[in-house]
Structure 1
Amino acid sequence: ETFFSWTLKNQISVLVIDISANGQRTSTEDVNVLLFIHILTMFPNLRYLNFGPSSIWYQQLSYDAQLSTIISSSLLELHVCLPDLIDCLYLLDGCFNQLRTLHVNITFTMSSNSTINNKEKLPNLRFFSLRSDWDTDCYDKLIVPLLNRMLNLEELNLFLQVTGRQKFVDSEDLKKNIIDHMSRLNKFKFSICSTIQLDNELDFPSNENIQKTFRDFKANQIISYVDYFPKARQGQCHIYSYPYKSKNYYKITNSFPGGLFEFVRDISLYDERPFEHEFFLRISRSFPYMEKLTLINRKQQNNKQCRKSKNQNFSIITYPHLIQLDLHKTHKDYHRQFLFDITTCLPDNVRVCMDYRLTKKVTHNFRRNITRNNCSKLSYVFFYYKSEFPEHLKDYFPRARIP
């Protein structure tokens, strides 16, 4: 080793690793672990490490037995993408005893099966961010105990989808299980969507009940709304601090209170009640930079007057930044909602997933003029429940690749 390389390695204190797989999925977990270990051993004075800032599947770092042998006494800030919360517990099991800031994004599962010690305090940690788009039933078993170890935490970000509880997560829960254990906490940003099963006829809290619990909550503006889905026998409560800074907002229902969400790029809509045209208008205004939209609703729309005549006085909805649209779990009315050019004006080069049977009906076997304009803009169409395609299908989707 030359003096120059030795000096360079000892001088590097900030490092960002952005892994590119060119869109091809490969088995990279072992490679990522080896790379992670190599970085920590090569740069002894590293203070800041962002391992995979894009937080996508091929940048995840899965726990490996080799990691337990790594100890870094210099690293102060770590950003990492992990497949499971268990991997986070391993990383906090004495590997980084000087860590002050930790950002964790869970990419796949949030399992609760663990024998690792989740009690030892983490007195040096000042900032912790935990994000996951996946449902987890380990909120009480793992997440709350993990947070209780961070007795000197000053700032906390929690973005979770919680299941497996008998009660919604509300302000009383947050105070009792989290905030009261953090005397130095001064910033708390969160978005927690909790789902419960409606297994009996007990009285369940209303939106007003949930909102009242936040009256004395010392934080930014708190938004909450509650929905009950009789067919699925589930209840859902979404609570979040506003302004909302996450890039994702999932499970939006008709109860959505509105607002402006300039950071959000990916949303999903779900309800057992129909979504009307006015609802989609609110969504387009609340999420002006939305790029990905997933819709799940099997209920037909009630108000369809807007489609009967082009002379109706209503707003044509635009989604100027939309890149990906998924309609395959919807009633045919929502295929109409997005394909009719008198209700929606899609941008160019949108990638769409649709139900072939419903699309065929809505487009009159791919010959209808009112749907032709939006269909001609699509760059990729994936059909579920597809059968043999007619020869003129390609003419109806002239830009689209149709696998």
Structure 2
Amino acid sequence: MRSAAEHLAQVLALVEPPPPRRVPLRDALGAVLAVDVRAAGDLPPFDNSAMDGYAIRARDVVQATEAAPVRLVVAGESSAGHPWDGVLGAGEAVRIMTGAPVPAEADAVVPQEQVTATAGTVLVDAPVPPGRHIRRRAEDARHGDLVVEAGVRLRPRHLAAAAAAGNGELVVLPAPRVAFLVTGDELAAPGATLGPGQIWESNATYLEAALRSLGAVAVDLGTVGDTGEAVRAAVEYADADLVVTTGGASVGDHDPVKEGLAGVGVEFLRVAIQPGKPQGLGVVGGAPVICLPGNPVAVAVCVELFVGPAVRAMLGVPEPAWEPMRALEPWRCPPGREQVMPVVLVDGDADAVAGGVEASGAVAGALPGVRPATSGGSGSHLAARLAAADGLARVRAEADAVEAGDIVAVRRFTV
């Protein structure tokens, strides 16, 4: 059997990011930035006022007091988009609005509530230090400064920063197109009346939501019947950067995915994990193909371990870390396979944590950690109970049991 780490390496070796493209800001939301965004000019591009008030020369009001205010002649007005183009002289002030350019020779702004305005003049009754209430040119960014670093998934704040720095277009990694299909004549649509031997289909619902959450364009190839020809045709004609299949990849008599794809570029193998042992991997029609088991929990686990990393690699997004946490109660593990257990994270009230550990027979007072999400362990069929989990815990293949207090690698669900 191939280890999970070896299988992931093989998956990542097959995928490539779509070529970067330049898009308008409005189309960049959610995309991953491929090229650094730098300031197209100084930001702000000129000295401007931080207040509504009067632009003055600080040296003109050094002697101002309440008893002997200094009277300045209002020489003009500067508002946003309509600067005053004169040069401020001795004994003059310019009415100025927030964001408006500061006139030449002015070096301070007095807020309007701190002066007394009369017809054509303004009285200042206290000294004003140079630089008061002036936003200096380039104090936010200088021309060429880094504004948004490549590799960031673009959010509204990033787009605003890029726009403020004079960038109307960005070079991004486009969302990869990931096609998916599910197999099984036993599958019925959610909400439909079940016939004999049927179950409600959930993998398509999960995969579409998971792929979209990862930042991919999810392409539904539909529920394919249990024939190799149908599977092969769907995969060969998928217009996608990656194809994901579920079900029909094991060693049964009716495994259409294996039947349809084994001879056209997909290797079917066993991966040493529970759940998720039977899998396939290869290239069909130029597109990488990941074939997952059909049981819903196994699909969720394999998306977290293999499909998610593949999509993040295509987007240039780093892989979230797994963190060491303490098991709060014991559970069994399959011999010779790495176990991936859906778990509940307990990281709140210390008394609640201690109570949970005590109830399991372990030592009270253990550090916050994790416990299995269900009493059914990591059974790949426990789809409804998967909703109770916060994330996954990974237990090394050499372990046949986890004891309360043992350290396991844990990560919250990424989708």
TM-score range, shorter chain: under 0.3
Structure showing greater radius of gyration is 2
TM-score by length of 2: 0.27
Q: Which has the higher contact order (CA 8 A, sep 6+)?
A: 2
